[in-house]
Structure 1
Amino acid sequence: MGRGKQKKQGADNTRLQDQESGTYLKKWTGRLPVALLYPNRYGVGVSSLGFQLVYSLLNDHDDLVCERFFLPEDNHSSLRSFESGRSLSEFSLLFYSISFEHDYVNIARLLLAGGVPLLAEDRSDGAVTPASPLVIGGGVATFMNPEPLAPFTDLFLLGEAEGMLSPLLSLFGSTLDSLSRSEILFQIQHKIDGAYVPSLYTPVYDDVTGRQTGTTPAPGIPERVTKVVVSTVTKAAHSQILSPEAEFSNLYVTELGRGCSRGCRFCAAGFIYRPPRLWDADAVVAGLEERNANVHRIGLLGMEMADQDELEMLSSYLLDSGCSLSFSSLRADRISGPLLTLLGSSGLKSVAIAPDGASERLRRVINKNLTEEDILVAVERLADVGLYKLKLYFMIGLPTETSEDLEEMLDLIGKIRERMLPFGKARGRLCEISLSVNCFAPKPWTPFQFHPFGGEQLEIHNDGLATHVVKSLKAKIDFLKKGISSEANVRMNNDKPDNVLFQAVLARGDRRLAMVLAKMAKTGKPWKQAMRQEGLTPEFFAVHQYGAGDYFPWNIVDHSIKQDYLWKEYQKGFAAKTTAPCDTTVCRRCGVCGD
């Protein structure tokens, strides 16, 4: 790598580091070097609470030094650690944290840029050293479906980091200097809860259909890996690092809990984080009190779970502390009382609500269970406390969706404008509505994992099916854009159906997709071309209808959710029947809390 490229990456890192607060800067002498990779640019990675949590948990161990690596800002920069500017070849343990399918290819790019053999099987089976490091994967995407990344990865940690890192690091302390790679991995698979060593498992494929029909473990290895869940915390996860370059500049984020009790049938978070957990109020305050005294912008994750008592406590705490509140979106049927008081006093300029389904019927199909009146009343209440800029999240391509559903969505937007306008006019304020319209992609461990991408149950099965589905989604987007064109101060953003098709391919994929990712990373080829050259099609993975008893590539992960339960929820969706939220004190439907 040329010195000019090295200097550029170093200069970029120095500038960004100077703007950060909370960076760990450790001396290397006598410490085990650990790299923590985020497969996207700095601004995205530093915004990830999960990534920051792992960075903090690793650096809390005094006998190691953990430094971060991000995807370089351009193709002309070398890959250097953020903290000290070292190369990846100086680290024995390479952790990566990944949340989104579209970042999968960047794992391959980072390993290649760091000179690490891309395939785990090509790494030396001798001692674990910087010349032959262990690649360890984690993050929410891996415990949905780790398989597309399995050939690159020596070890996955499936579950929540607080319950896994300390025992793993303790085992490394007693084995790294004395055992080979394969011996260490074998011990980890046996001794560490949530550990998944892909080399100890062999996928089984049907000779006729090509579909994965099972996974064979090595002798003495469990058939599946149970995800690790943390039942409680004494201090809620919170921002460790603040940066003006983050997606939400210098926003201090604290977790209220994990999971969601609602069980929307398209949403992985509502299932893979079961049972839903709301942290104790003292733990949340403990997380908030870790911030510097001059930090007043607060983001709360998990507000859809908080009960009225906790909202009142948090509202009082934040108001007394002179803090303003931020969040991703609000549940429309929870906007009342102390939350409204807090919203009105927080200096917010906009607020987001996620109806998701275009019509009231579709919201029952997806188990969102929000009525039109719920949404309209929420809009009025928000406008009444001075919030006139509204963002609405919708999905298209959901199962059973029709043109009538999309027409009802346009009607709803018109009614929302009518409800907001009187409040804005009375105060001389402009009311604005921003629509974020995204294509549905079936995700593992949800009731809709069985359903094809695009939402349509089509009779044709050929290599042009994905193209047909993408065209259909584009037509729906055009229909909505035309429908809002006459509405003043309403604008719409949407994702690209082609990109979401690839997301669905990866979400439902198996190990064979690793070679597609490798080809993309090495040659820069587009994903469709790389798939063709590997003899694979998007239809095979994304546009496929699964049956009740079919095997999924992601069945290697055990979330304790019964597949029969997910199938029944899928069928209830077709009947537009809703399911009550989780009540972990009495509910035993899905299997997570026992039978």
Structure 2
Amino acid sequence: PLPGVMVPGMSPERVRRAVVGASNVLGSPAYSCFVSSEAQFRDMLLLEVNRGCPYGCRFCAAGSIYKPPRHAEMAALQEIVERCEPHKVGLVGTALTDWPDLLPFLRWLAERKVKFSLSSLRADGLTDELLGFLRHTGTRSVTLALEGASRRLRRAMNKHFSEDAFLEAVARVSRLQFGTLKLYMITGWPDEGEEDWAEFEEFMSCVDAARKAGQGNRKKGVELVSLSVSCLVPKAWTPLQWADTPDEDRLKAAMKRFKGIVGRFKGMRFAGENPAQARVQMFLARGGEEIFPCLERAAEIGLPAAMREHDALVHDVLLRHAERDTVFPWDRLEIGVSRKFLYSEWVKYRRGMVTPPCPQDGCQACGLCGMDDFQSLPHGR
């Protein structure tokens, strides 16, 4: 069998993910195979800056399935840009500000009059130099991830998050007169409730105060704080694969609560994901081969209608409770992170315990999640 390739009905054993190299260098960064005005990201060449993430957020599939964390080399990205000659480049990565060549690469793009766009940034990675450059080159908005409504939830999800660093970043963004601050977070966490939402309201008061402090006497700075809230979709190969799927009514109640909180502040706007659409994602994310008849029917009449026809199946998949020894459909694939480690992280989630980020020295210096053993084995085992 080919390494990293599963053929349904012909691959009797677990199939190992193929990982090229064992260093922290991303040897072959991904990029757009075509650039088009009809694409979702119009006329933009998407470039992969880093793959994998060292922080270990327990809801994030990218932190598991793309281990070990690796950074692209600046020369490799420059070669791609010179070959494709795009008008605009979009940098994609799980932790852009961790890439040591981020600012030098942006300066290189600016010198060639190539526009650029960044995905969300970590507040603790924003320097005055980076923010100043972004503002000088015409960037009008900054996106920061809040993820959870309360400190308790952020700790449970292993979000390495400093409230002080976040608020300082808000003040600096406003001081440099960016027009829009975009925040995004997730709702539907296990045991999320009113206490978390009340703490979120207090924190948004602090965000508003930091924005105004950055404006100073000039009253110029961030004019709009836009909060986008999505619904938790427990993902395969993450500790939250053992979590129950959030109830649609509970998600609707949370969205209503967040909308009410944001509405109390002038210059803030709320956008929430439709919980019904999120439940469709959950069905697709949690199902195995048993949902194929529904998908086959969806090709004929559309997915919403097919799910209505297979209502009993949909409910069975969404309400399925996972125990420690539950066999998941995706267990047929071996990604490198051990199931034992993932379950220990699920236990830590419920206990509110933190796991440190991956060490910079690589997997062999850690040995915690199983990637060290995985990388030591020959491909295609």
TM-score (normalised: structure 2): 0.89
Q: Given the superposition, is the C-alpha separation of residues 478 and 517 from structure 1 closer, same or farther in structure 2, using an over 3 Å criterion?
A: same
Equivalent in 379, 395, 408 of residue 170 of structure 2: 379
Question: Which residue of structure 1 lines up, in the alignment, with residue 235 of structure 2?
Answer: 443
Secondary structure of 1:536's aligned partner: helix
Same amino acid, percent of matched pairs? 32
> Quick one: distance in 2 between partners of 1:362 and 1:544?
23
**Conservation of the 8 A alpha-carbon contact between 1:421 and 1:431:** no
Question: Which residue of structure 2 lines up, in the alignment, with residue 360 of structure 1?
Answer: 151
Q: Deviations over 1:470-523 (max 9, x none)?
A: 111111111111222221121111111122122112111111101011223223
**Conservation of the 8 A alpha-carbon contact between 1:353 and 1:392:** yes
Q: Given the superposition, is the C-alpha separation of residues 316 and 327 from structure 1 closer, same or farther in structure 2, using an over 3 Å criterion?
A: closer
Q: Given the superposition, is the C-alpha separation of residues 234 and 511 from structure 1 closer, same or farther in structure 2, using an over 3 Å criterion?
A: closer
Equivalent in 294, 297, 307 of residue 519 of structure 1: 297
Q: Given the superposition, is the C-alpha separation of residues 422 and 296 from structure 1 closer, same or farther in structure 2, using an over 3 Å criterion?
A: farther
**Conservation of the 8 A alpha-carbon contact between 1:235 and 1:286:** no
Q: What letter corresponds to residue 453 of structure 1 in structure 2?
A: T
> Quick one: distance in 2 between partners of 1:588 and 1:234?
23
Q: What letter corresponds to residue 491 of structure 1 in structure 2?
A: R
Q: Does 1:226 align with 2:19?
A: no
Question: Which 5+ residue runs of structure 2 have no aligned equivalent?
Answer: 375-381
Question: Which 5+ residue runs of structure 1 have no aligned equivalent?
Answer: 1-189, 202-216, 218-222, 455-468
Q: Deviations over 1:184-237 (max 9, x none)?
A: xxxxxx2x2112111225xxxxxxxxxxxxxxx2xxxxx101112233555633
The alignment's C-alpha RMSD in Å is 2.2
**Conservation of the 8 A alpha-carbon contact between 1:388 and 1:432:** yes
**Conservation of the 8 A alpha-carbon contact between 1:325 and 1:343:** no
Which has the larger helix fraction? 2
Question: Which residue of structure 2 lines up, in the alignment, with residue 151 of structure 1?
Answer: none
> Quick one: distance in 2 between partners of 1:588 and 1:400?
31
> Quick one: distance in 1 between partners of 2:131 and 2:71?
21
TM-score (normalised: structure 1): 0.58
Q: Given the superposition, is the C-alpha separation of residues 291 and 240 from structure 1 closer, same or farther in structure 2, using an over 3 Å criterion?
A: same
Deviation of 1:559 (Å): 0.5
**Conservation of the 8 A alpha-carbon contact between 2:68 and 2:371:** yes
Question: Which residue of structure 1 lines up, in the alignment, with residue 7 of structure 2?
Answer: 197
Q: Does 1:592 align with 2:368?
A: no
| Superposition map of 1:35-50 within 5 A | none
> Quick one: distance in 2 between partners of 1:430 and 1:335?
16
| Superposition map of 1:52-451 within 5 A | 190=1, 192-200=2-10, 217=12, 223-231=13-21, 236-292=29-85, 295-302=86-93, 304-307=95-98, 309-424=100-215, 426=218, 428=220, 431-451=223-243
> Quick one: distance in 2 between partners of 1:570 and 1:501?
22
> Quick one: distance in 2 between partners of 1:394 and 1:423?
23
Relative contact order, higher structure (CA 8 A, sep 6+): 2
**Conservation of the 8 A alpha-carbon contact between 2:98 and 2:125:** no
Q: Given the superposition, is the C-alpha separation of residues 290 and 233 from structure 1 closer, same or farther in structure 2, using an over 3 Å criterion?
A: farther
**Conservation of the 8 A alpha-carbon contact between 2:178 and 2:222:** no
Aligned residues: 366
Secondary structure of 1:593's aligned partner: helix
Secondary structure of 1:290's aligned partner: helix
Q: Does 1:488 align with 2:279?
A: no
Q: Given the superposition, is the C-alpha separation of residues 348 and 274 from structure 1 closer, same or farther in structure 2, using an over 3 Å criterion?
A: same
Q: Given the superposition, is the C-alpha separation of residues 562 and 443 from structure 1 closer, same or farther in structure 2, using an over 3 Å criterion?
A: same
Secondary structure of 1:200's aligned partner: coil
Q: Deviations over 1:292-325 (max 9, x none)?
A: 2xx4432211261554642342243234333443
Question: Which residue of structure 2 lines up, in the alignment, with residue 559 of structure 1?
Answer: 335
Q: What letter corresponds to residue 419 of structure 1 in structure 2?
A: A
Deviation of 1:527 (Å): 4.1
